[in-house]
Structure 1
């Protein structure tokens, strides 16, 4: 085995060893691990801008995130809130609960675990910032959790945005939204088919009450959340700011009236911004700057600016060890060219060199991936012997803005350069020589571009890729308006009575769908002619550009894995370029096409997440571990 297969020692790349150097105050947020060693938490520390203010307010603020999809779409806004509060003189800690984000998984009562996480975050912020006073901020379920422990941690103030006042009502609301979703309806329709036509594997592909938009939502969790009710809690003896949601009428006013009877330091606000932040897609979210400024303005008078005391040097932990499938792996927080990420790798060196896996962002979602898909995949791959980097491209998560100064720019022109920067970093820091690049949706697009350009890419994983070419000036909104679902979806839907009712009501853009489907038929006929010609003439000249590029990748020795949901428009895009079942890709064993049913675009059902994770892990093991073993003989 060559020395290059051994991971090189890495430095603490993301964390400063000194909190506040005397002349050059550090304002950059710092990522670190904290909490119990067997189940560490990932946090972002935003130090107060002491030099700008001539001191600090000597109060920390712990930001308690919401649950599930609400956490994903509000992530960018939380980062902006942390920056706003740091500029106002507060030391801020934004963290992920156990079983969420980048933090470790932990069995047990979710509510009790998350309450314990908030207590740990408050204690750790007091320690690293040298503070006595700590305030809490929470959104939705995060607000309910914060309120439930505010007295325990002796919080100095409590801020809640659109709080889930009643845990029971909150659970009912989420269940209603889940039952209204298209995915749930499809699953229910499938379940109604005669059982004789369904095999065991299909019966396991059902979405039940124990999951919600891809996250665990078990009966135990619903019961624990349901026991929390602010209307029955004693009013906290601290200043409280409640900001009502602006999309629906909630219970904020009722709560304020009850708490006001014993807490005269309570303020109810109706500032707009919540609805625009909590959009279905993280790409569409708008940071509620007005609300964040209001929060800072409300908190600031409660804590006077005080001279900054001298601080000792501190170290924030950037590496942890986890047990995944009875294997020990390490996770390192890394930063390169102002891009941030997490490297997962096995503790014990593997017996043969394996390629490093890079996971590119799914749309505007940060590196954990929708439903934590990338976290689970990275850790499973690390347990199987691979080194994996999940990172945020420019404009996503905590990485720097794009060169144009944008955030949430899904198909930013600099995405390919970010992938190259990640590869170069892994070469220098970990001795990586070869790579597998992969991603879902826009992550698949940039993985595809990288595989075309970089000879060191030995494998590519493309999940539900919707674009093979993106022109500068294109907009995601325009692409969405022009796109329709897969032909398979419409063939299935046309047999459903509900579809015809929607057509008669005018809810279906029938003309647009008809035109698009006609175009698909024309393209497929063209593909059939290409397939017929190439069957008799061994030449790539008759293939379209994308098909030629894939053939060239395969000829170079690149392993190609394409995974799609049958109802996703990525299937039709693939068919338009490669023919039915990818016939124009040839019969090379290096090309593998997997099409799932009922998985949706982001593999929301938990069975789909598990299936995709297992599929990718076993695929890479088979293709690269076996190849490495043969090379050593």
Structure 2
């Protein structure tokens, strides 16, 4: 493999993103080179980090990055990667949807790649939950010399049943109005789990894996217990009692704090990582090494999306990392670039890989799309005050500005559509107010329009109740009143918040009346005036909501029912989806959402481009052309509609 010599210590030790694997379906990996100057040498051992599945992958992402850093500082070369059909990796399409064998082969490919990149003699494997089960089942086939398992899935069959139980407990509706979906058959199916594909073929393959029935590994094993459920790992130790090599069982706490419900709450288990690193170092002594080369890796991957070829380029700017997706040969100046803003503390792939799907779909339609991690998220630098996972960091708007400057400088992007969900929508909104390079905003389930100094997500959650739509329907159910009588419902908080909502809605009614009578925006609240100013500036505004989400109430408090305070404008589109949830978990809703955004942006910006060109030649043509477009199949109605069409 070709290499480049670099004298800089920082360059030598910086984690490096790269594409590897099959050319038709590449995976994304992060290479953490051994920090030989810090460690005093190289251990000639590479560690492959095997991620878990679904939501567990999202909340443990930051912890995995820190584990890679711990190991690299101790002299190990590390590869942290995404399996195919997960994270940023390419999808492998097949009729059966079987993933277990595919992911096992992915681990083998990652081990081969690490051996080639780092020139190491030995390989060790680490895995969490499902990643631990997969690592243990392939360890012998790649001649691994050590195995580190954290809260491993011991029985694939039991794990599959556990996941199905979690799915059955979901509040998502199975029946959806057919006019809302791309296809009437796009409903929540048995082959998905919290927004991720979890096919019958995958479950069947999982059911055949059981660590307690496998031969004891012929290598040292580090086994980390869960601290929320006890006893599972002890059963595995008992099954491997005839293990001929060292087996260390650790009971250090930290698992439960890492595997929180939301990524912004996750705590990196530094004590566990330190113990694991110390244990592994005993088996691989340091060796002096004179110099180190940085391998030349692939920064661009080509993916076939439908009938087009989409290139995905790994980029870095001002210490932040991202991926630019665009169609091969597309004119970057023809359409605005789309920038996807982090959803909470989730890294750039988004919940359920929503941003990966959206970016590749928009790229296939001719847009240049950047999905990146702002400071403090994923592999990007920490915030200016050295924080990670700070969802509403004040530096976020500056990060978006830097992203736009980067896209202008490298791809000559003419303007930008900022797109975000929840906190990502809030940051897009703030950036749109400040920066006239923003020609469009796609805001999905935005929950706040003002974040005050001292506000915390925890405090906001405690003060927030579910949507009015939810409570209206809940009152008609008998079980709701049973829970009220048993004291299981905070009736006082709910009633107080509902009364405040009613007060805010009455205020918007007066604002609407005053605006109509006086023909002045002075009666509007600050947020409504901000949106009116954005529209007057020529900004395309796309407001998307799940019909029963709390964000609908927040929007109604600011703009009135159906955003009537914003008035009638072709530049404002209000869209509702029914039967999804706050993050559009059901796969049908993800597909419907991506389809709608793509069609709407392509229609609006193709029209704007035609209008701009026609205005140069004939000033009267644009109105006639818009009328023709407005009567087509892709008509977008101004501020209207209760449900998606």
* Kept in 1: contact 2:180–2:577 (CA 8 A): no
SS of residue in 2 equivalent to 1:48: coil
Give the equivalent residue in structure 1 for 2:462: 481
Mapping of residues 252-401 of structure 1, within 5 Å: 252-308=233-289, 310-312=291-293, 314-350=295-331, 353-401=334-382
Once the two structures are TM-superposed, the CA of residue 264 in structure 1 deviates from its matched residue by 3.4
Mapping of residues 460-609 of structure 1, within 5 Å: 460-609=441-590
Does residue 150 (structure 1) correspond to residue 139 (structure 2)? The answer is yes
* Kept in 2: contact 1:33–1:42 (CA 8 A): yes
Once the two structures are TM-superposed, the CA of residue 266 in structure 1 deviates from its matched residue by 1.3
The equivalent position to 1:37 in structure 2, one of 10, 16, 23, is 23
Tell me, in whole angstroms, the C-alpha distance in 1 between the residues paired with 2:399 and 2:430. 12
Once the two structures are TM-superposed, the CA of residue 177 in structure 1 deviates from its matched residue by 1.7
Give the equivalent residue in structure 2 for 1:5: none
Once the two structures are TM-superposed, the CA of residue 198 in structure 1 deviates from its matched residue by 7.4
Give the equivalent residue in structure 1 for 2:413: 432
Does residue 416 (structure 1) correspond to residue 397 (structure 2)? The answer is yes
SS of residue in 2 equivalent to 1:368: coil
| Greater CA drift, 346-355 or 447-456 | 346-355
Q: Judging changes above 3 Å, is the alpha-carbon distance between structure 1 residues 347 and 426 closer, same or farther for their aligned structure 2 residues?
A: same
Give the equivalent residue in structure 1 for 2:65: 79
Tell me, in whole angstroms, the C-alpha distance in 1 between the residues paired with 2:333 and 2:400. 25
- CA-to-aligned-CA distance 1:577-599 (integer Å, 9 cap, x gap): 00001000101011011111121
The equivalent position to 1:124 in structure 2, one of 98, 113, 134, is 113
The equivalent position to 1:406 in structure 2, one of 377, 387, 407, is 387
* Kept in 2: contact 1:25–1:50 (CA 8 A): no
* Kept in 2: contact 1:34–1:43 (CA 8 A): yes
* Kept in 2: contact 1:59–1:303 (CA 8 A): yes
Once the two structures are TM-superposed, the CA of residue 532 in structure 1 deviates from its matched residue by 1.6
Tell me, in whole angstroms, the C-alpha distance in 2 between the residues paired with 1:618 and 1:324. 16
* Kept in 1: contact 2:46–2:114 (CA 8 A): yes
SS of residue in 2 equivalent to 1:182: coil
Does residue 171 (structure 1) correspond to residue 160 (structure 2)? The answer is yes
Tell me, in whole angstroms, the C-alpha distance in 1 between the residues paired with 2:468 and 2:259. 31
Give the equivalent residue in structure 2 for 1:455: 436
The equivalent position to 1:141 in structure 2, one of 124, 130, 140, is 130
| Greater CA drift, 448-457 or 59-68 | 448-457
Q: Judging changes above 3 Å, is the alpha-carbon distance between structure 1 residues 439 and 39 closer, same or farther for their aligned structure 2 residues?
A: same
Once the two structures are TM-superposed, the CA of residue 516 in structure 1 deviates from its matched residue by 0.6
Tell me, in whole angstroms, the C-alpha distance in 1 between the residues paired with 2:135 and 2:249. 17
Once the two structures are TM-superposed, the CA of residue 313 in structure 1 deviates from its matched residue by 5.3
RMSD: 1.8
* Kept in 2: contact 1:42–1:95 (CA 8 A): yes
Q: Judging changes above 3 Å, is the alpha-carbon distance between structure 1 residues 198 and 250 closer, same or farther for their aligned structure 2 residues?
A: farther
| Greater CA drift, 445-454 or 17-26 | 17-26
Tell me, in whole angstroms, the C-alpha distance in 1 between the residues paired with 2:83 and 2:31. 15
Give the equivalent residue in structure 2 for 1:11: none
Tell me, in whole angstroms, the C-alpha distance in 2 between the residues paired with 1:119 and 1:532. 67
SS of residue in 2 equivalent to 1:67: coil
* Kept in 1: contact 2:333–2:414 (CA 8 A): no
Tell me, in whole angstroms, the C-alpha distance in 1 between the residues paired with 2:10 and 2:263. 35
Give the equivalent residue in structure 1 for 2:194: 213
Unmatched runs of 5 consecutive residues or more in structure 2: 615-645
Q: Judging changes above 3 Å, is the alpha-carbon distance between structure 1 residues 286 and 36 closer, same or farther for their aligned structure 2 residues?
A: same
The equivalent position to 1:110 in structure 2, one of 99, 103, 108, is 99
Once the two structures are TM-superposed, the CA of residue 399 in structure 1 deviates from its matched residue by 0.6
Give the equivalent residue in structure 2 for 1:616: 597
* Kept in 2: contact 1:49–1:86 (CA 8 A): yes
Tell me, in whole angstroms, the C-alpha distance in 1 between the residues paired with 2:5 and 2:479. 61
Give the equivalent residue in structure 1 for 2:216: 235
* Kept in 2: contact 1:352–1:628 (CA 8 A): no
- CA-to-aligned-CA distance 1:432-473 (integer Å, 9 cap, x gap): 120000100110001001111111111100000011011122
**Across the two proteins, how many residue pairs are aligned to each other?**
609
SS of residue in 2 equivalent to 1:257: helix
| Greater CA drift, 570-579 or 310-319 | 310-319
Does residue 89 (structure 1) correspond to residue 75 (structure 2)? The answer is yes
Tell me, in whole angstroms, the C-alpha distance in 2 between the residues paired with 1:232 and 1:449. 55
The alignment's TM-score, normalised by the length of structure 1, stands at 0.93
Unmatched runs of 5 consecutive residues or more in structure 1: 1-15, 192-196
Q: Judging changes above 3 Å, is the alpha-carbon distance between structure 1 residues 19 and 182 closer, same or farther for their aligned structure 2 residues?
A: farther
* Kept in 2: contact 1:464–1:568 (CA 8 A): yes
Tell me, in whole angstroms, the C-alpha distance in 1 between the residues paired with 2:88 and 2:397. 24
SS of residue in 2 equivalent to 1:144: helix
Once the two structures are TM-superposed, the CA of residue 404 in structure 1 deviates from its matched residue by 1.1
Q: Judging changes above 3 Å, is the alpha-carbon distance between structure 1 residues 548 and 312 closer, same or farther for their aligned structure 2 residues?
A: closer
